[in-house]
Amino acid sequence: MEININSITEFLGWCTLINFGLLTLSTISIVLFRKFIIRTHSTLFGIKEKKLPKIYFKYLANFKLVVILLNLTPYIALKLMQ
């Protein structure tokens, strides 16, 4: 397989799509199964239930930021170069 700008662009496009899919799935899971997830994580990790929503928000925000910075931005830059 030859590595060129087109293959890197395609790779980053798929990475962006997959990561945004995982972000969407995580967000929907936290919204729909909030009580179950909070109870489970509280029991497993010994974190107070009141602290978990803030932790989830930080997780989703950081995940989104990383996907935008490391996948979407380079993908758009490469698309503009073509």
- pLDDT digits 0-9 by tens, 6-19: 999 999 999 999 99
Q: How many distinct structural domains can be found in the chain?
A: 1
What's the domain range around 55?
5-81
Among residues 72, 60, 70, 68, the alpha carbon closest in space to that of 25 is found at: 60
pTM of the model: 0.86
Q: What is the mean pLDDT of the chain?
A: 96
Task: Look at residue 2 in the predicted model and tell me its pLDDT.
Answer: 85
Cα separation, 16 vs 3, whole angstroms: 19
The predicted pLDDT at position 1 comes to: 73
